[in-house]
A and B are shown apart, each in its own frame.
Chain A
Amino acid sequence: MTMHAVTPVASPYRTAFGPDDAPAAHITVRALSKKFQGVTIYENFNLDIPRGRFVSIFGPNGCGKSTLINLISGLVPVDQGEVLFGGKTLADTRIGYVFQNYREALFPWMTAFSNIQYALKLRNVPAPEAKERVDRLVARLGVKIDLSRYPYELSGGQQQLVSIMRALVVEPEVLFLDEPFSALDYEMTLFMRDQLQRIFEETGTTMVLVSHDLEEAVYLADYVLLLSRRPARIADFPLVAVSRPRSDQTLSNAEFIKLKGHCLDIFQREVRQ
């Protein structure tokens, strides 16, 4: 594990509404390039994601929001560039990833409990200890799901909660979420947002969320990463200076509305370009 000197990027946390309490960069993306079938998605792309913060990624359709977290998490190989986690490579880093399609991401041949435990099994944690750790996580999150059931016996929200727990049980340094709630109905989405917020506050894990819903992106985030049309650039990376825990009242909070409007302006500017 080698520590790399991280070259600072020009204004990584340029905020429209005041500074954050100066968090250190956790994920550093340097000179990232990626093409799909000759189409350039990223070219010489640089990004710093702060440690222990919640970053939402928002941008025009097809600009490569999901591709970005797939490149960072190693699901898709990069053409060029370097991604480091606190100076470490991906191989030395525990990450968690929550897929949009929980139905196809969970293993239906395992109970919900075994699904979560499997993540630990892959990390060679002995079964009794793994069981204990799953139980601890369940207790800590206050999850009220019958985990002896199979995924297909659970509701959509419960299934996604199980896949979030599967990602969390290894105590990841970073948690990636790819539009995790877009397959859920609105009521369940609202509930799951608050669950995720609670988990974030509870664990303090660096989280990176891809969302196609601006309100959700801003509601959950400490920073909103606004991307341009491809090849994607950082259009803006504002701080969401709204206190936590956020709730229904947050939606009518002046600061929240102002920032959401700002993000929408940038988004529309980028879409029109």
Chain B
Amino acid sequence: MSARFDRFLPLLGVFGLILVWYVGYWVRIVDPVLLPSPHETLIALWKGMTGGALLYDFMRTVFRTFAAIAVASVIAIPLGIVLGANERLYRSVEFVVDFFRSTPASAMFPLFLVIFGVGDATKIYVAAFGAALVILFNVAYGVMNARKTRILAATVMGASRWQVMKDVILMESLPQTFVGLRNGVSLALVIVVVAEMFIGSVDGLGFRVFEAQQLFNMPEMYAAIFAAGALGYGLNIFFLLIEKSFVHWSGK
């Protein structure tokens, strides 16, 4: 009985939040113009996502985030493998990687604007830049931390260096690579949404939130925020599912 009930525990928080929201709305802690009721927001979300403008903005953000992660992966995964396989090489670029990994990607906006102009490319490349460093770092560590025993086991069975790399080290680095991809996609989404708010945008979730706020269309603004939240949550689940099927052995 209690076990069956436990499955629904996460819903409690959702209901709790909605309840607090309604109470706040009814007793008017905040001007109702600033805080619409939950059902108004839900209606705005529903309308926006079923044929409204919000769906289009949602898909734009999805596209940019995936484009950024694709660009980042294509560059960072092979580079991470090379760096991880040559530990001395990695040590020599480690500071640079760590430095730019710690630099807020938003600080790079002006630079990317100068290089790529105000189009989609800037948003995608800034996000790809941030994500690539996270992925690179994780892939390199995954390769460097491949279990010595597994490498020895393959070597003693007669595997060549190339076979060890391809059959053992690459597989060993996969769990860490997926950690990098998941962190990278979260970061890419953040950067894309921020970029959509400020860099001469005409669409995307960031643009929608900003525009709705400018027009004082609060239900639509909240709807866009929730759409962005759902997207972030969904992306994480999506990558977790891929990870589970690709690296079923992770953590075992």
Interface residues of A (CB under 8 A from B): 73-75, 95, 97, 99, 101, 104-109, 118-119, 122-123, 150, 152, 163, 166, 170
Contacts and interface: CB of A to CB of B under 8 A. Distances in A.
Contacts of B152: 75, 97, 99, 105
13 contacts: A74-B156, A75-B152, A95-B156, A97-B157, A104-B148, A104-B150, A105-B149, A105-B150, A105-B153, A108-B249, A108-B252, A109-B249, A122-B157
B13 interface: no
B159 interface: yes
Contacts, number: 50
A119 B150 contact: no
Nearest to A91: B158
A122 B159 contact: yes
B163 interface: yes
Given A150-B248, A152-B249, 12 more contacts: A73-B156, A97-B152, A97-B156, A104-B149, A105-B150, A106-B153, A107-B167, A108-B252, A109-B247, A123-B158, A150-B249, A170-B157
Task: Specify the main secondary structure of chain A where it touches its partner.
Answer: loop
A97 B158 contact: no
Contacts of B156: 73-75, 95, 97
B157 A104 contact: no
Interface residues of B, number: 21
B168 interface: yes
B154 A97 contact: no
Task: Specify the main secondary structure of chain B where it touches its partner.
Answer: helix
B158 to A, nearest CB: 5
Contact of B171 (A97, A99, A107): A107
A107 B168 CA distance: 8
Given A97-B156, A107-B171, A170-B157, A122 B149 contact: no
A103 to B, nearest CB: 9
Given A109-B171, A122-B159, A123-B158, A99 B248 contact: no
Given A107-B168, A108-B252, A99 B163 contact: no
Contact of A107 (B150, B155, B247, B248): B150
Among all A-B residue pairs, the 7 with the closest Cβ atoms:
A108-B249, A152-B252, A104-B149, A97-B156, A105-B153, A104-B147, A122-B158
